[in-house]
Structure 1
Amino acid sequence: MSTIHVVKEIYIYPIKSLAGISLQSAKAEEMGFENDRRWMLIDAENQMLTQREHRIMSQFYPQISNGKISITFQAHKHEFSINEHLGNPIKVNVWDDKSEVVEVNPESSKWFSRHLGFECKLVKILKNGDRKHESSRAKQTFNVSLADGYPYLLIGSKSLDFLNDKLDEKITIKRFRPNIVVTSENPHEEDDFKAFTIGEVQFKNVKPCGRCVMVNNDPENGRLKKEPLKTLSKYRNVDNSVLFGTNIVSLNSGIINVGDVLVF
């Protein structure tokens, strides 16, 4: 490719379905970026909780500092250590994938239960292999964290520009919860990326990402809107799946930075 693609933004989402954190650099691992979706909330029946059913989850904001994760919700704050957890394994499903997690601590679970208004637990996936995702498209099984299906989501900047040209109310890339945003020349050209390197890390494209109603949840206020899914469905509907961004996997570990160039 003649176009120069540069990493524009990097995001992680430590706790599944809560707000994300913008980073200047991140360590890529097989399961996803370090500390990306290693935690999630489950209900009293050990079912995962997401913004699809609980839009207020977008209003919990994490930060990472000095080995701790702090969560801010309205005027309330809570923190826990990245390394802390209880010992008893809990069997959960992330969609169709069986996973093993452990509770972080009772205090964190009680804090989230109080602010969400129902009983839940904060849990963590401990190690590579505790959750496997079988991709029918790639005919391969991947070790994944607690993300929906794949370790990384990459989006080209022109894909968002092209969509915003069609919307009355412009949106930001945060609607789509990417891990990596790159500069691009044409809308959705990232769908056709094959293998490439960013910094120290080799990546492989698996498939374009099918989107759900969660992209209609405005992360600024947690309100459900009709867009952008309504507009996207008019020009990005392929086999009854509305596509935006592409799922990728890393082939090795290493650091990537904002400003790194993609090498094909």
Structure 2
Amino acid sequence: MSIVVSALYSYPVKSLRGHDQESTRITSWGPDRDRRWMVVDDNGRFMTQRQLPQMCRIGASYRGNDICLWHLDAPAEAIEVCLAGSEKERQVGVWEDYCTALDAGDAAAAWLSDQLGVSLRLCYMPDYSYRQVDLRFAERGDRLGFADGFPFLLCNEASLQQLSSGLGRNLDMQRFRPNIVISGAAPFAEDDWRRIRVGGIEFDVVKPCARCAIPTVNLDDASREPDVFRLLKTHRQRGDDVYFGQNMIHRGEGEIKLGDAVEVLALN
């Protein structure tokens, strides 16, 4: 069976709800406009579903160059955020990295704070800002937005199906927040890949993705399901971490789309 792209996801705002798409444009940043926005606390530190699982209930999508946010329980109360004319810079932190971002203003901050019950700001990474991918796994000049550590995450449908069978229920792939989902490969075959080609673009498969508590969040009601993490520990633990999916760095620009062939070019 051939291996193909079965789903593509974009996450305009870090840790808010993502959406599927038929194609993804790839730029020097990675997936176009993926995680260029981020929610931060009053100190500029990133906030995610690790601290606020309710973030999974807030949707985000682009309208032109603006971003629209809405709560799934009250979509009519959406807010549209425009950065035009915003010049208020602030330093924001993602893990050990700090970079320059633009503050999206008080209206967006008030809306998010009201929805999530804690004081928050919304920020955007402009084109002139720069965040280097970890040089232990990347080349100098490899950049990314506000994703945790790498521009792409690949997950395998068969791997999720095998994991779900251990729970006796189907898990939503979006819990794991991949950009590229593939079908046609054996469960966890991706663990052995070092380089692949998708739609004419090559990717270095650089590191298994160590998982935190975010995949335990039920996207329907924001409740935590600890049995998901227990299952990961049983089947996917290496050392102190559990792993699912593969972090990747693109080695070209262009477009990938649903149904594109996935070619394995090199194995570990």
The answer to whether TM tops 0.5 is yes
- Quick check: 1:208 aligned with 2:208? yes
Tell me if structure 1 keeps the 8 A contact 2:8–2:23. Answer: yes
Determine the structure 2 residue equivalent to 1:44. Answer: 42
Determine the structure 1 residue equivalent to 2:153. Answer: 153
SS in 1 for 2:118: coil
Counterpart residue type for residue 153 of structure 1: L
Counterpart residue type for residue 19 of structure 1: R
Tell me if structure 1 keeps the 8 A contact 2:101–2:129. Answer: no
Tell me if structure 2 keeps the 8 A contact 1:8–1:183. Answer: yes
Counterpart residue type for residue 63 of structure 1: S
Determine the structure 2 residue equivalent to 1:259. Answer: 259
SS in 2 for 1:228: helix
Find the partner of 1:29 among 20, 27, 30: 27
Counterpart residue type for residue 81 of structure 2: F
Counterpart residue type for residue 159 of structure 1: S
SS in 2 for 1:218: coil
Q: Aligned equivalents of 1:242 and 1:72: distance in 2? A: 32
Report deviation, 1:172. Answer: 1.4
Distance 1:256 1:201, change over 3 A: same
Determine the structure 2 residue equivalent to 1:72. Answer: 70
Tell me if structure 2 keeps the 8 A contact 1:129–1:144. Answer: no
Q: Structure 1, residues 179-200: CA drift from partner, whole Å, max 9, x if none?
A: 0000133111112222222124
Q: Aligned equivalents of 2:251 and 2:258: distance in 1? A: 19
SS in 2 for 1:4: coil
SS in 2 for 1:109: helix
SS in 2 for 1:143: coil
What is the TM-score with the length of structure 1 in the denominator?
0.92
Determine the structure 1 residue equivalent to 2:178. Answer: 178
For 1:130-145, list aligned pairs within 5 A. Answer: 130-137=130-137, 142-145=142-145
For 1:13-24, list aligned pairs within 5 A. Answer: 13-24=11-22
SS in 2 for 1:202: strand
Report deviation, 1:93. Answer: 1.4
Counterpart residue type for residue 78 of structure 1: I
4+ runs of 1 displaced by more than 3 Å?
65-68, 137-142
Same amino acid, percent of matched pairs: 28
What is the TM-score with the length of structure 2 in the denominator?
0.91
Report deviation, 1:106. Answer: 2.5
Q: Structure 1, residues 205-236: CA drift from partner, whole Å, max 9, x if none?
A: 11111101111011111001113111111111
Unaligned runs of 5+ in 2: none
Q: Aligned equivalents of 2:128 and 2:195: distance in 1? A: 23
